[in-house]
Structure 1
Amino acid sequence: MQQLKNYTGSVYGGLGHLLYAFYQSQALAIPEQLARVQNLERFDYILWRDLLTALDQQLQRPALGLQIAELVQPKHLGIIAYIAMSCESLGEALHRYHDFHRLVYDGSPLQVSAENGLLSIRWSDLPKNMATQLTDEVAIALMVGFLKHFMDFKDISLHEVHFQSEAPKHVALYEQYFRCKVRFSQPCSQVLMQVQELSKPFFQGDQTLQQLLTQQAHALLEKLPNTTQTDHRLQQAILTGLQKNLFQIEHIATQLNISVRQLQRHLQQQGTTYQQRMQEIRCMMAEEYLRDPHLSLQEISLLLGYSEQSAFQRAFKQWQQLTPQQWRQRNL
């Protein structure tokens, strides 16, 4: 029990919103503990496990985690969803997920490895008795469900899904959901897929961040005088580059197929610089993100390409003469 007491893992508050949405969809009474975490950015992993366990005992329904995951929305995963929706391939999305997965679940490291042509995605080093079939089930189903619903995952095939727990009576429900072989009583819970799947592009729908970025690019262009096709492409390149932490002028110029000198000359003719133009876009996107109550200041900082939250806060105060917290309170 000492091990559980000292365990400090936490989960993103959006998972609490997801579970709340499931209770509502089933017309179930909301537990007091679940209601209390609705306004928290993060809460203890132990509480997450206990909430799932209590629901499982109440419903005693097969493949419950898969049903919960069916309700996932981008807001339930926070920054991971925003970043994934700006990626162009599964490989790129998984790379970014590996970088930021602790913002969704901070407890055990995510391990991604390749062997014999198969890619393995798994969580490891979780203390005994902390992981249950339902916690593993929800974690894996959320990742796959998000890809399936928002990233047009339909043409990408999983090889196998493994769970540590013993096989339930309704294995077919799992294989129907994941559309692959599902094995139980395995050494670890993991998702296996063919390495070549990583190169497959995402064909994103209307609800993706790419659409939001495009809308914001058009909105910004309307505010700028004498805009050209180069300006349009520049705004889009910077907006996308911020999501991927690739927004240096050299990278942006390469994306536009022009030299750095040509880009600088173009901006000079408009009486601005690359740094000023990027800051305009950062300010605009900061306001957009601050309107989303599910995003913390730390997450917004990362989305805007800042390595430290304090740097974002200083920049925002220069833009708006308000702190991000003050601006959010006035505009929500």
Structure 2
Amino acid sequence: MSQLKNYTGSVFGGLGHLLKAYCEAKKIEIPEQLQQVQNLERFDYVIWRDLLEDLNAMHPKTGLGLEIAEYVQPKHLGIIAYLALSCENLGEALARYHDFHRLIYDGSPLIVEFNPPYVSIRWEAPEPHPTQLTDEIAIALMVQFLKLFMSGESIHLHEVHFVNTAPKNIAIYEQYFHCRVRFEQPKTQLLLPVSEAFKPLRTGDHTLQQLLLKQAQALLEQLPNSTQLDQRLQHSILTGLQKNQYQIDFIAEKLGLSVRQLQRHLQQQNTTFQERVQQIRFMLATEYLKDPHLSLQEIALLLCYSEQSAFQRAFKIWTGQTPQQWRKDNTTYNS
């Protein structure tokens, strides 16, 4: 198979599960290389590209990437699904996707630009250029990602652009995206009206919300003398960590207090705001470490550490162990 010289991009292992789900749904024989990546946390971008090309060679079809993307579920997207589930509107989810998209799809750098009246979401191509198939599945996954978390409303796209030569049947693409699709353009991009960014996201029975409620309850049970304010404080910090809005000024405003009032309340309990944040981070860290599908890098992001090393140092202070040692000693799965 061909190799991308001097390029070491990778994709999230969940995308391998997505391809397998597609093959099973379509009763297509699963290629040996696809079987081999099923237990990997990540695999090379070039393998992803070749797997797509192999599937297309076995069952050639215009718009194959679009068809595959329709089978995506939050579990195929990993950490970004957790983060998106905590967002209030489409624009915020889009910002999370921009910040952490490389955790899913580190094949082409993603750029999000707000140029009213449109938002441009585009992929800057590495050398050599990606194929039509890798481009179309990247855009289709982006659209499906946004649809997964919508509150029942549809997304109205303005246009979709591809750098590749137009296929014979452009209608397949326009029917899929419900907008005009242009080929042989300077950039591969998705143009979304800025007004779409304010559409609310679903706030129903989501994985992250259940996880947060579970953690909040566990924390509250450890606080026998907790007050209603303490309960609200725990929950505010928990949800704030998901949006990187857990600093004391954000939390105090959410509780309807001044920073000084909140500090005084915590001082009466012989603690500080930073100690309370670290307590919650530790509780969440031990829960996340029990999930074999979350890497240390992903856990560090969930806990709002800018670097994995910062999380590891904090965890060593909390427990005297590294996260890897704690995970090995406190979980029953085989890594």
Provide TM-score, normalisation by structure 2.
0.89
Structure 2 equivalent of residue 189 of structure 1: 188
Report deviation, 1:170.
4.3
Deviation at 1:53, TM superposition (A): 0.3
151 and 233 in structure 1: CA distance in 2 versus 1, 3 angstrom threshold: farther
Provide the C-alpha distance between the structure 1 equivalents of 2:166 and 2:230, rounded to a whole number of angstroms: 57
What does residue 245 of structure 1 align with?
244
Q: Say how many residue pairs are matched.
A: 331
SS at match of 2:203: coil
Structure 2 match to 1:8: 8
| Range with greater deviation from structure 2 (164-173 or 308-317) | 164-173
Residue in 2 that maps onto 1:148 = 147
Distance in 1 separating the partners of 2:280 and 2:114: 38
Distance 1:198 1:228 in 2: 38
- The alpha carbon displacement at 1:2 in A equals 11
Q: Cα RMSD between the aligned structures? A: 2.4
Distance in 1, matches of 2:234 and 2:275, equals: 12
Alpha-carbon distance between aligned partners in 1 of 2:212 and 2:292, rounded to the nearest angstrom: 19
**Alpha-carbon separation, structure 1, partners of 2:182 and 2:291:** 39
CA deviation vs aligned residue, 1:185-221 (integer Å, no higher than 9, x gap) = 3222211111122222212331242342233223322
Q: Equivalent residue of 1:175, what SS? A: helix
For the residue of structure 2 that corresponds to 1:5, the secondary structure is coil
What is aligned with 2:299?
300
Question: Which stretch shows the higher mean deviation, 77-86 or 175-184?
Answer: 175-184
For residues 23 and 214 of structure 1, the distance between their equivalents in structure 2, rounded to whole angstroms, comes to 36
SS at match of 2:260: helix
- For structure 1, which runs of at least 5 residues remain unmatched after alignment? none
Per-residue Cα deviation, 1:300-324 (whole angstroms, up to 9, x for no partner):
1111011221221232233344322
Which residue identity lines up with residue 215 of structure 1 in the other structure? K
For 1:142 and 1:125, the matched residues in 2 are separated by 17
**Matched residue, 2:179:** 180
* Alignment of 1:123 onto 2:123: yes
Q: Deviations over 1:8-49 (max 9, x none)?
A: 222222212222222233333332222222233322211110
| Contact residue 85 and residue 151 of structure 1 kept, 8 A | no
Counterpart position of 1:98: 98
Cα distance in 2 for partners of 1:153, 1:290 equals 33
Equivalence for 2:42 = 42
Q: Distance in 1 between matches of 2:36 and 2:326?
A: 25
Deviates more, 1:253-262 or 1:209-218: 209-218
| Contact 1:122-1:188 at 8 Å conserved across structures | yes
More helix by share: 1
Q: Could you tell which deviates more after superposition, 68-77 or 203-212?
A: 203-212
**Deviation of 1:235 (Å):** 1.6
Give distance in 1, aligned partners of 2:291 and 2:174.
Answer: 35
The structural deviation recorded for 1:165 is 2.6
* Percentage of pairs with the same residue: 66
Tell whether the 8 Å contact from 1:250 to 1:260 is kept in structure 2 after alignment: yes
Task: Write the letter of the residue equivalent to 1:67.
Answer: E
**CA distance change for structure 1 residues 260 and 144 in 2, over 3 Å: closer, same or farther?**
same
- Code of the residue aligned with 2:282 in structure 1: it is C
Deviations 1:124-145 (A, max 9, x none): 13223x4112111111111111
132-141 vs 242-251, which moves further: 242-251
SS in 2 for 1:158: coil
What is the correspondence of 1:59-78 to structure 2 with a 5 Å cutoff?
59-78=59-78
Query: How many angstroms does 1:50 deviate by?
Result: 0.4
SS of structure 1 residue aligned to 2:305: coil
Give the TM-score normalised by the residue count of structure 1.
0.90
AA matched with 1:10:
S
Matches within 5 A, 1:72-87: 72-87=72-87
Using the TM superposition, give the Cα deviation of residue 171 of structure 1 relative to its aligned residue in structure 2, in angstroms. 3.4
Are the aligned partners of 1:49 and 1:135 in contact in 2 as well (CA < 8 Å)? Answer: yes
Listed as ranges, the gaps of 5+ residues in structure 2 are: none
State the match for 2:257 in structure 1. 258
1:116 positional shift = 4.9
Contact 1:150 1:205 in 2 (8 A): no
Q: Distance in 1 between matches of 2:290 and 2:230?
A: 26
Contact 1:243-1:303 at 8 Å conserved across structures: yes
Q: 2:157, 2:178 within 8 Å by CA — same for their partners in 1?
A: yes
Counterpart of 1:279, as a letter, is Q
Letter in 2 for 1:302: L
> Which deviates more, 50-59 or 172-181?
172-181
User: For 1:25 and 1:189, how far apart are their aligned partners in 2?
Assistant: 29
Q: Is the alpha carbon distance of 1:61 and 1:136 closer, same or farther for their aligned partners in structure 2, counting shifts above 3 Å?
A: same
In the TM superposition, structure 1's runs of 4+ consecutive aligned residues that sit over 4 Å from their partners are none
Deviations 1:108-157 (A, max 9, x none): 321222335111100013223x4112111111111111221233362431
* 1:148 maps to amino acid: K
Partner Cα separation in structure 2 for residue 229 and residue 261 of structure 1: 19
